[in-house]
A and B are shown apart, each in its own frame.
Chain A
Amino acid sequence: MADIRLIEIREDILSDNQQLAEEIRQNLHRESVFMLNLMASPGGGKTSLILETIHRIRNEFRIAVIEGDIDSTVDAEKVAALGIPAVQLRTGGACHLDAPMIRMALDGMDLSALDLLLIENVGNLVCPAEFDTGATKRAMILSVPEGDDKPLKYPLMFSVCDALVINKIDYLPDPGFSMTVLKERVLKLNPGIRIFAVSCRTGEGLDEWVRWLREQVRACQKP
């Protein structure tokens, strides 16, 4: 009977992804590109927010979009129709984008010709929060019809984001959604998060969101 040996490892399981994400972040920093990882439930308004943002900011910055979906090119086609470069990642089953996938998308791009990169992550409030894509900042969308209890049910997603965009405010008043309650719940999890209330349909609130985004992009550019 062979002796059993104990081997100490102490290695982070997600370390490969984390390491690559750090390398991506440094690469973006060197190229003065701001990359935003945008996450939300399916139908929350990710593509709409991206399209509305592009309309308002395209004359100031050079933009490209990385679209992540399990299948289809629906979203990338909408972006490309605006004349903005779009890369569609089809995960074929993976429910989130990770650093290796983003690296692949970036390898096909000329970062020196870009200021702003928007990642539209797979519609999902669970897994994308766990996987660093190498983005400079993270934002999420919560839409009014989804209800104000989502921070209680998906605390990790709300706690890892730098910004929260509350979309579909044109649905208010809504019995399942109190803006006060929602903000309280979110700020408890993440006191530093910036919160924006918008309607991609009516345009309300989008200027403030774009103002924040503009600040972020400018902060990455070389003086």
Chain B
Amino acid sequence: MHELAVTEGILKVVLRHAAMNGASRVVGIGLRIGELSDLADEWLQRYFDYLSRDTIAAGANIRIERIPVVFRCETCGDAFPVRLSEIKDVACPACGPGKASLVSGREFTVQQIEVI
């Protein structure tokens, strides 16, 4: 994943909403990131601190909620979770390997911000 480009995207969204809500400082940012978005969490805060240093979001603490990978079996319609290490062998627990569609795991959203 692309930490720097993505961090810029996060900062843009955060500053826009902070401005829309008349905030003077952003103290916290809640992100929802799917497990398939293969982002290195520890770098994200560091890149963010660097990019936000002259903005009202400087010092904001980033919290990441990881969304698990869930597939839906196209044979029986049931949804089932998949561990990232098993992603190449996706198989419905009931029907075995076959066509399955991705239900969750690729999210990349700014869920909320905490402002003063």
A residues with CB within 8 A of B:
2-14, 16, 94-96, 98, 126-127, 130-131, 151-152, 155-156, 185, 188-189, 191
Contacts and interface: CB of A to CB of B under 8 A. Distances in A.
Nearest to A192: B99
Given A13-B6, A94-B5, A188-B89, A7 B17 contact: yes
Nearest to A3: B116
B86 to A, nearest CB: 11
How many chain B residues sit at the interface, stated as a range, is 20 to 34
B115 interface: yes
Interface of B: 1-2, 5-6, 9-10, 12-14, 17-18, 21, 23, 27-28, 31, 36, 38, 87-90, 99, 107-116
B111 A10 contact: yes
A9 B115 contact: no
Name the prevailing secondary structure of the B interface residues: mixed
B89 A4 contact: no
Q: Looking at chain A's contact residues, is the secondary structure mostly helix, strand, loop, or mixed? A: mixed
Contacts of A5: 21, 23, 114-116
B9 A14 contact: yes
Given A4-B116, A5-B116, A7-B115, A189 B88 contact: yes
A94 B3 CA distance: 12
Contacts of A7: 17-18, 21, 23, 112-115
Given A2-B116, A5-B23, A152-B88, A13 B9 contact: yes
A4 B109 contact: no
